[in-house]
Chains A and B, each alone.
Chain A
Amino acid sequence: AQSVSQHNHHVILSEAASLELGCNYSYGGTVNLFWYVQYPGQHLQLLLKYFSGDPLVKGIKGFEAEFIKSKFSFNLRKPSVQWSDTAEYFCAVNRAGGSYIPTFGRGTSLIVHP
């Protein structure tokens, strides 16, 4: 069974700091990769996704993620965080062309201090 690891469970940053959240998965075949975000009191929503093509994916609110197949990784980055980025971030993976049930990581809680 595939698994997804998010290395950082809690991250605390000051505004303008750079962000990188790690995500690694275990499945060896072709995958679809997602980052979802849950702002306080709001529903989970898609931040960005990768399913083919350019491995550097840009999402909403200045976030980007890079798919490195050789490392089974899909790390999320933002060069300069804002207080409004305070949220919980989830990485998810599913097998391309196969199951439509994704496997989620345990999430990373990000707190950005103004």
Chain B
Amino acid sequence: DVKVTQSSRYLVKRTGEKVFLECVQDMDHENMFWYRQDPGLGLRLIYFSYDVKMKEKGDIPEGYSVSREKKERFSLILESASTNQTSMYLCASSLRTGLSYEQYFGPGTRLTVT
């Protein structure tokens, strides 16, 4: 089974702090994604990576950056956390080839910025 793990289930940070969210997948997937999930808004794509050191902005990249130094690991960075970044953050991975590109999700990190 594909496994996607995230470094923390719950995180509380103060405004202005630098925050690192880590994601690791064990199925050699090329694609990795970071989403935020907010009630009534569904999943919104923050950043996407299709290969090591490659990244593309999603729909809401402002205030975030990412890093992918190894194929299995994709990090989301909040340079200076703000209260409006309080949310559930989901990491996902998928194959780059194949028929349907279904995604596999991690358990999520619920981040609270105070």
Interface residue stretch chosen among A12-20, A45-53, A62-70, A75-83:
A45-53
Distance between Cα atoms of A9 and B50 in the complex (Å): 32
Chain B proximity of A9: nearest CB distance (Å): 7
A44-B90 CB under 8 A given contacts A51-B99, A100-B31: yes
0/1 per residue, A90-111, Cβ < 8 Å to B? Answer: 1010101000111011110000
A100-B94 CB under 8 A given contacts A43-B107, A44-B105: yes
CB-nearest residue of chain B to A41:
B107
Chain B proximity of A51: nearest CB distance (Å): 4
Categorize the interface residue count of chain B. 20 to 34
A43-B105 CB under 8 A given contacts A49-B100, A107-B42: yes
A9 touches B100 (CB 8 A): no
Q: Which of A44, A51, A106 meets B100, CB within 8 Å?
A: A51
The A-B contact count (CB < 8 A) is 53
Contact residues in A for B4 (Cβ distance below 8 Å): 43
Categorize the interface residue count of chain A. 20 to 34
B19, CB-defined interface residue at 8 Å = no
Chain B proximity of A2: nearest CB distance (Å): 12
A34, CB-defined interface residue at 8 Å = yes
Chain A proximity of B39: nearest CB distance (Å): 9
Sampled A-B contacts (13; CB under 8 Å): A34-B102, A36-B105, A43-B90, A43-B106, A45-B105, A46-B102, A51-B99, A52-B99, A96-B100, A101-B58, A104-B43, A106-B40, A107-B40
